[in-house]
A and B are shown apart, each in its own frame.
Chain A
Amino acid sequence: MNGCELIREAFALAKSERRCALIPYLCAGDPDAETTALLLATAGSTGADILELGIPYGDPLADGPTIAAAAQRALDGGMSIEGALRLMADATAAGAPPIVAFTYLNPIVQYGLERFADALLSAGAAGAIVPDAPLEETGPIRAAFSPRGLALPLLIAPTTPLERAAEIAEASDAFLYLVSRLGVTGARREPDFDWIDERVAELRERTSKPIAVGFGVGTAEHVRRIAAVADGAIVGSALIDSYAGSRGEDAALRAARFLESLRAEAG
């Protein structure tokens, strides 16, 4: 199975079990590579359906303070694209759920898009989310990803007009990433559930692709409400907060407890 198929299968499995897919986000190298490896394993065994692994970037415009600080810690600790790819390779070799990289555009452009796509493929990753690539600029990434079966899921924001959202849905691979509210990632601001309900209903008329909701998703209650309308819940900042200040097994234990509480509400 290629990356797109792996993700589609993960959504299909969750759906067959009448729940929404749980998609934890982790930042590679925060607080260190060993802990990230443990966290990936923990997330996999606590019911994550898909994993998002952030490649740390020093100027993450779509991210709030939690993920920005996590990325800075990771970079200070020497994490790199190569390091993140190694973490993906080790996790997939150990039987982790499908992994999607989360990366800003500049690091992978400097790395080389073809080279990055090859590296994702060898690491067993399923694709990548590139939050600062608008639809019009996704061509070169898609040209590198498509022949390798890698997924490039795209984001839809509350400010995206419906017609454009439909175009993005058409171009998005494997699933749609619905941004839950205006603003950057982070648990400080609540998702706008009225908007999510309305937009998911509108998108369902235009696409059959699974819809996952992220940004500001951080409590069991959020997951329960998302599960009622959408196909996946993406949890980043709140997960990172759950093990803040700890490392190794201690961090994994805290993360597991947090993810279990979310999993209970996923459907």
Chain B
Amino acid sequence: MDAAFADPAFWDEYRALLRDFVGRPSPLMQATRYVGEPNAATLLFKREDLNHTGAHKINNTVGQGLLAKRMGKRRIIAETGAGQHGVATATIGAKLGIPVDVFMGALDVERQSLNVYVMKLLGARVHPVTSGTQTLKDATNEAFREWAGRVEDTFYVIGSVVGAHPYPYMVREFQKVIGLEARAQVLERYKRLPTDVIACVGGGSNAMGIFSGFVDDSNVRLWGVEAAGHGLASPDTAASLNAGSIGILHGSRSFVLQSAEGQVRNTHSISAGLDYPGVGPEHAYLKESGRAAYVAATDEEALAAFHRCAEREGIVPALESAHALAFAERLALERGREGLIVVNLSGRGDKDTRHVAALESPLSS
């Protein structure tokens, strides 16, 4: 990785793929109707939802895919929860001609059958994981185990800023493009830096990506929005930074939702992409150092923001991003007209429409 990072040709190839394959730079759009209150702050959406495959995930898989190719690996593996990272990995595998195996909790395979089909369409093999809770945590466990046995010919593309070093660092570097673009776009258009930057946090890769463009601008406040699920005090939450404690998971020390005995807890969020019991270690650092603040939005608040964004901006956001949007509305009102707020709209919500429709059907309990 160090050799690749030091080689300008590596970054040239990465940037060319981001431009021609992913469609970068992604636009920065003013959300004129989302808050709908004349005295509220100016709200800007960083449109990662417009990327190829519909989310920020592809920025990272392009980078790691190129690393795999450079290292001469003959196979790529990935874990996936809702299937977004699986699809993004299958996509770059197809583009670069490297076979892809995706590990996915058996429950998620059932819940996200459309993404399973898309991965197969892209030529990837999907392996349902039946151990433990049969969700993202267990898919990650299984990918690590598979990697341990095939490390010589296999590259493990982790989907977030989690896992052992160098993953949290490497994934951040590949997502940094979001923050660098956003900063330049805001400065060009508004001739000043934003007052606040908001992103949702599960593992935390879209947040690390946009934060890293602004982390040195000490006047820009950084906000991570976690998934509170049914509430921070309830056992049904995925807010590791707000409701967890320091522990070790998947090779890094960070905040973990765990029992007093150090067993990793089951998590819950309406959004599968945020439903992870740990969080990137750099977020733990930003929290402890006070550089970023971490708040949370419940399932209900995210769902309201999901509808509001669809109805008032003409964008169906991913349920993950809807958590950031829920907090953005609150903050825009609090900041008033002087505020200039960037929200990372990390993904689009096509994948979630069926889930939301089922939740809201009068027949659902």
Given the complex of chains A and B, what is the CA–CA distance between A189 and B264 in angstroms?
28
**Shortest distance from the beta carbon of A181 to any chain B beta carbon, whole Å:** 8
- Flag the segment in B143-151, B169-177, B215-223, B313-321 that touches A: B143-151
**Which B-chain residue is minimally distant from A185 (CB atoms)?**
B145
Query: For A107, what are the chain B residues with a Cβ–Cβ distance below 8 Å?
Result: 261-263
B195 at the interface (CB under 8 A from A): no
Q: Which of B149, B151, B152, B261 contacts A80 (CB 8 A)?
A: B261
Count of chain A residues near B, Cβ 8 A:
26
B332 to chain A, nearest CB (A): 39
Inter-chain CA distance A59–B258, complex, in Å, is 12
Tell me, in angstroms, the Cα distance from A2 to B150 when the chains sit together.
39
Q: A59-B137, A72-B132, A182-B151 are in contact. Are A110 and B145 (CB under 8 A)?
A: no
B32 located at the interface, meaning its Cβ lies under 8 Å from any Cβ of chain A in the complex: no
Proximity bits, A73-84, B CB within 8 Å = 1, else 0: 001000011000
- Give CA–CA (A184, B141) in the complex, Å: 11
Query: Cβ of A111 and Cβ of B262 under 8 Å apart?
Result: yes
Instruction: Tell me if B's interface is mostly helix, strand, loop or mixed.
Output: mixed
Q: Does B131 contact A (CB under 8 A)?
A: yes
Candidates B141, B150, B263; contact of A61 at CB < 8 Å: B141
Asked if B144 and A132 make an inter-chain contact with CB atoms under 8 angstroms apart, the answer reads no
B260, A110: Cβ atoms under 8 Å? yes
Q: Any chain B CB within 8 A of the CB of A65?
A: yes
Residues of A within 8 A of B98 (CB): none
Chain B residues within an 8 Å CB radius of A159: 151-152
Q: Which residue of A lies closest to B137 (CB)?
A: A59
Cβ contact of B264, chosen from A59, A108, A132, A184, cutoff 8 A:
A59
Contact partners of A110 in chain B: CB under 8 A: 247, 258, 260-262
Given contacts A65-B131, A110-B261, contact A182 B248 (CB under 8 A): no
Tell me the B221-261 residues at the A interface (CB within 8 Å): 247-251, 256, 258, 260-261
Are the CB atoms of B132 and A59 closer together than 8 Å?
Answer: yes
Q: Which residues of the partner chain B approach A81 to less than 8 Å between Cβ atoms?
A: 261
| CB neighbors of B among A17-65 (8 A) | 57-59, 61-62, 64-65
> Contact flags (1/0) for B129-166 with A, using CB distance below 8 Å?
00110000100010011001111100000000000000
Contact among B131, B150, B248, B258 with A68 in the assembled complex (CB-CB below 8 Å): B131
Taking CB atoms, residues of chain A closer than 8 Å to B256 are: 106
A-B CB proximity, top 4 nearest? A183-B149, A110-B262, A107-B262, A106-B262
Known: A58-B263, A106-B249. 17 other contacts (CB 8 A): A57-B263, A58-B264, A59-B132, A59-B249, A59-B264, A61-B141, A61-B148, A62-B148, A64-B145, A72-B131, A106-B256, A107-B261, A110-B258, A132-B251, A159-B152, A182-B148, A182-B151
User: Can you name 25 A-B pairs with beta carbons within 8 Å?
Assistant: A58-B263, A59-B249, A61-B141, A64-B145, A65-B131, A68-B132, A81-B261, A105-B248, A106-B247, A106-B256, A106-B258, A106-B262, A107-B262, A107-B263, A109-B247, A109-B262, A110-B260, A110-B261, A110-B262, A132-B248, A132-B251, A159-B151, A182-B148, A184-B148, A184-B149
Partner-B contacts on A (CB < 8 A): 57-59, 61-62, 64-65, 68-69, 72, 75, 80-81, 105-111, 132, 159, 182-184, 189
